Amino acid sequence: MSYALQTLWHEKTRYAAGVGAVAFSAVLMVLQVGLLLGLFETTSIPVDHTSAHIWVGSQDVRSVDLGVPIGINSHMARLTEKPGLVGQPELFLTGYANQTRADGGMERCFILGSGLDPDAAGAADVLTPELRSSLTMPDSIVIDESELGRTGLQSIGNRTKINGVEVTLVGTVKGMKSLAAPWVMCSLTTARKILATYMTTEQTSYLLARAESPERAKQIVAELNAEYPEMRAFTADDFSFSCRWYWLTRTKAGIAIGYAALLGLLVGAVITAQTLYSATMASAREFATLLALGIPRKKIYGLVMEQSFWVGAAGIVVALPVVYLLAMGAAAGGAKVVLRWEVLLGAAALTIITALGSGLFALRSVRNIQPMSLLR
């Protein structure tokens, strides 16, 4: 065990505040970013829960809820001429609609109309075979169970009106909770009826297709975008990211959460710097002795920086279980915290950098230590 680690171990109480401050800033960073990712994952749910590899929509569409009607025949011809597709492209109808609640109020909702065959690319993967069968009935819908209160629907079999069309709730699912308007899943026929004033029978919101491989999907998308600039094609992964990025930049939530995370970093840095400075000053006589014995001052600088590194590492070790416990608590309350390895690794790197920066601040006290202080 190095001398720096031995010092930290024997002087645990002296460095506890620094470790706690580092852990606090790491927890705050990870939770803030994780909550942000979890929040904006909901904006790409219609994309993430389908099996389509390719999405074709209107020009400059940036999010699944912003698609405008496109011509079926022209876009279908362009897509089907590309080799490497599996099966025929499918229609996917989307659009905002007004739901009339039982209490007379209005609720904005978002229609997701897709094919319902077992291998339909646009059907949400949360729809069981039984629900798909139920949705084939005229004017039937399915929503996420968390949206029952918002829509005013109480149980399966309840009826409501969407854009003046009376529809029946035939089931609920989990995992389709929305950020804004509730997602309403239905058949193409029902969606066409609800969106009749918005879209003609010769139009669709998107064309969905599967490719032989993800690599071929990327090639087809690149070819379509190069040949037909008046339309827009995405791979499913790119469209999912586009949805999240659009809502992130549009709402400025990322800036607000970034400021909060930065504040946590600053608080942690200040406390850690003060802790290391005080600990270094408390060890002044030991450092003076080392200098009197001929130990180069640079060695002592290295010792302080090594202590800073291990304070940061200890803070990360303390923070990890706290992060997972708080994430589980958030999930129990209905808030999703995405703990990707990139987030954890990035937070750990920033935490170590913060601790090392605090160590540089503590070096000021080392510069003032002189061997002559032993004679005082």
Q: Is residue 207 part of a domain?
A: yes
Average pLDDT, the chain: 85
| Phi, psi dihedral angles at 275 (to 5 degrees) | -65, -45
Q: How many Å apart are CA 144 and CA 178, to the nearest integer?
A: 9
- Based on the fold, state whether residues 217 and 287 are members of the same structural domain: no
Q: How far is CA 338 from the centre of its chain?
A: 6
Within this chain, do residues 327 and 275 fall inside the same structural domain, yes or no?
yes
Can you give the pLDDT at residue 375? 47
Per residue in 225-244, pLDDT tens? 999 998 999 999 999 999 98
Whether 169 and 295 map to the same domain: the answer is no
Number of domains the chain contains? 2
The 8-class DSSP code of residue 338 comes to -
pLDDT digits (tens, 9 = 90+) for 68-126: 999 999 999 999 999 999 989 999 999 999 999 888 889 999 999 999 999 999 999 99
Query: Minimum mean pLDDT among 39-48, 114-123, 333-342: which range?
Result: 333-342
Residue 279: per-residue pLDDT: 65
Q: Give yes or no: residues 146 and 110 share one domain.
A: yes
Tell me, yes or no, whether 118 and 16 share the same domain: no
Provide the percentage of residues in the chain whose pLDDT is more than 70.
Answer: 84
The confidence band for 253, taking pLDDT boundaries of 50, 70 and 90, is: low
Lowest mean pLDDT among 6-15, 28-37, 81-90, 367-376: 367-376
pLDDT tens-digit readout, 288-324: 676 666 777 788 777 778 878 888 888 889 999 999 9
Positive or negative, the CA dihedral 13, 320, 343, 258 is negative
Residue 213 is assigned to a structural domain of this protein: yes
Retrieve residue 193's tokens. Answer: 């009826």
Distances (CA, A) of 42 to 86, 168, 334, 335: 28, 25, 13, 11
Start-end of H helices in the chain = 3-10, 12-41, 45-48, 72-80, 129-135, 148-151, 188-194, 214-227, 236-251, 253-282, 284-292, 297-332, 341-367
**86 and 225 co-located in one domain:** yes
Q: What is the pLDDT of residue 1?
A: 56
pLDDT confidence bin for 347, thresholds 50/70/90:
confident
Average of pLDDT values for 202-214? 96
Domain-terminating residue out of 177, 196, 229: 229
pLDDT of 374 strictly over 50: no
Cβ of 278: how many Cβ atoms within 10 Å?
16
Helix (H) or strand (E) holding 161: strand 159-162
Are 307 and 349 found together in one domain? yes
pLDDT category at 160 given cuts 50, 70, 90 is very high
User: Are 277 and 357 part of one and the same domain?
Assistant: yes
Task: Indicate the pLDDT class of residue 340, thresholds 50, 70 and 90.
Answer: confident
Q: 105 with 195, same domain?
A: yes
- Average pLDDT of span 347-359: 82
The answer to whether position 247 is within a domain reads no
**Average pLDDT value for residue range 211-227:** 95
Which of 229, 261, 289 terminates a domain? The answer is: 229
Would you say residue 262 has pLDDT above 80? no
Question: With 60 as the cut, is the pLDDT of residue 376 above it?
Answer: no
What is the DSSP secondary-structure string of 205-267? SEEEEEESSHHHHHHHHHHHHHH-TTEEEEEHHHHHHHHHHHHHHHH-HHHHHHHHHHHHHHH
Residue 138 inside a domain? The answer is yes
Which of 195, 199, 146, 154 has the alpha carbon at shortest distance from 173? 146
Q: Do 369 and 259 sit in the same domain of this protein?
A: yes
Average pLDDT rounded to a whole number, residues 338-347: 85
Cα-flanking dihedrals φ and ψ of residue 87, to 5°? 75, -175
Residue 130 lies in a domain: yes
pLDDT at residue 372 tops 60? no
For residue range 271-291, what is the model confidence (pLDDT) as tens digits?
766 766 666 666 656 666 766
Domain of 13, in residue numbers: 3-41+252-375
Do 295 and 356 lie in one domain? The reply is yes
> Residue 146 carries which DSSP code?
G
pLDDT of residue 199: 94
Phi-psi region of 334 (alpha: psi -120 to 50; beta: other; left: phi over 0): left
* DSSP 8-state symbol, 182: P
Tell me the C-alpha to C-alpha distance, in Å, between residue 245 and each of 110, 242, 352. 20, 5, 28
pTM for this structure? 0.77
Same-domain status, 209 and 77: yes
What is the DSSP code (8-state) at residue 106? E
